[in-house]
Amino acid sequence: MSTFYHYYKSPFGTLLLAGDGTRLSLLGFPAGAMARQHSDDWVKDSKPFKEAISQLESYFVGELKEFKLELDLYGTDFQRSVWSALTLIPYGETWSYGQLAKHLGKPKASRAVGAANGANPLPIIVPCHRVIAAGGKLGGFGGGLQMKNSLLTLESKFI
């Protein structure tokens, strides 16, 4: 099966979108730990990403609070449980890594939750930017702390 990709010029820089033509499996940033580029064997085609782009554009102007896309999330069972829990964090709010760990019934697993959060292949859409360190510090983010702060600031304007 082919992997399709498209570079989308967002207000926060060019984002790499990739998937199987039906489901989105990757959103990569232009910089930071989640900086990604397409592979040579991927097929360049914007058509499979029309809905994702439409929803991202609505999100960036404050009209969309929750993404409704077909996703293909590859990871361990624990990672997928963390990523699923991320979608429960309300738009414009933040949870600490500890809160997320407690929500999962693993109150001592905040570091493991942080690692799973950092491995999220679909940041923004699966809102890992809404997780912060104890005491209100930003913590880490695959797109860089400036990007994380920008996304949190964007959401705070529209709540």
List the domain range (segments joined by +) for residue 14: 4-60
Does any domain span residue 146?
yes
Give the per-residue pLDDT at 30: 80
- Name the residues annotated as catalytic: 128
User: Are 39 and 100 part of one and the same domain?
Assistant: no
Does any domain span residue 67?
no
How do residues 35-78 score in pLDDT, each as one tens digit?
Answer: 899 999 999 999 999 999 999 999 999 999 999 999 999 999 99
> Residue 13 class from Cβ within 10 Å (0-12 exposed, 13-18 middle, 19+ buried)?
middle
- For 27-47, b/e burial (b = at least 16 CB within 10 A) is bbbbebebebebeeeeeeeee
How do residues 68-92 score in pLDDT, each as one tens digit?
Answer: 999 999 999 999 999 999 999 999 9
In the chain, the number of structural domains is 2
pTM: 0.94
CATH number, residue 55: 3.30.160
User: Are 21 and 54 part of one and the same domain?
Assistant: yes
User: Are 150 and 82 part of one and the same domain?
Assistant: yes
